[in-house]
Amino acid sequence: MFNIFKRLWQVNWAEQWQYRANLAMYILYWLVSPIIYLSVWTSIATANGDVNGLTANDFITYYMILLIVDQLTSNIIIHIFGYKVQDGSLSGELIKPIHPMLTNTLVNDIAFKTLNMMLLIPIWIGLTLLFKPQFDSVSLGGIALAIPAIALGYAINFLLSGIITSLAFWTTRVYSIHEFYYALIMLFAGQFVPLQLMPAVIQNIARVLPFQLFMYLPIQIIQGNLSAQEITQGYVTGILWFIAALIGFRIVWRRGVKQYSAVGA
């Protein structure tokens, strides 16, 4: 199995590398919205002294960490995989003795992510010089504690996106469904606004949803804002969602492949 992933990595890495100019444009596009939120919240906090106890520096560090965490937990499988179903190129992969989504697509996404990080890091350093965040509350221990949460966030996001992408077996409208999913992430993962500024109702909902693992939870762990109990709660919720997403994915995938092979692969 390790050998398969090693070879998949070589192929996908070489392929992604071909599209590095494309990636640079993608990164610039993707950077726009977090930087807008960062700027808006920072200027409000500066004008008022703070927003519900959050200072300008809190917002800056929040969004600077978000840039990294979001990049690590997000995925592009809707783009990698959706069209393969529609144009039939999935057929060649389906008759290979490995799972197309959990091997090839996964590795392709990780290769994409790795290249993105290589582009993002210099930009991130530049932004640090521009916004001058004070990472006083960030500790190595916090980062170490957040890494499993980021991995869990990535896994859940991948599987949920995988479920949505698998809907391509039935409908060509997966992109609009995915847009809706993305809107949920924007709201409940804490991209528009750090979740602690949301009304209590939304915070309570967000706590039982998986989306906070994509951004808010790891960021808060890194910032050292959470108690041991809150962190444990976050992890438990995440693990439950991971199991649910895995089961859901397997069911949808199996039925989807059956559907695909019923209508004409």
Rounded CA gap, 85 and 164, in Å? 13
Rounded CA gap, 37 and 31, in Å? 11
Question: Which of 18, 227 has the CB closer to other proteins?
Answer: 18
Out of 7, 20, 173, 255, the only residue in the binding site for other proteins (CB under 8 A) is 7
Rounded CA gap, 141 and 6, in Å? 31
Going by C-beta distance under 8 Å and a sequence separation of 6 or more, which residues neighbour residue 71?
Answer: 30, 113, 116, 117, 120
Run of H or E residues at 199 = none
Choices 24-32, 40-48, 177-185, 257-265; region in contact with other proteins by CB under 8 A: 257-265
Rounded CA gap, 115 and 101, in Å? 20
Q: Is 97 in the site for other proteins (CB under 8 A)?
A: yes
Out of 32, 95, 140, 200, the only residue in the binding site for other proteins (CB under 8 A) is 95
Give residue 210's identity as a one-letter amino acid code: P
Using CB under 8 A as the criterion, what x/- string covers residues 146-175 for binding other proteins? Answer: ------------------------------
Q: Is 25 in the site for other proteins (CB under 8 A)?
A: no
Size of the site for other proteins (CB under 8 A): 26
Residues that bind other proteins (CB under 8 A): 3-4, 6-8, 10-11, 14-15, 18, 88-89, 91-92, 94-98, 257-258, 261-265
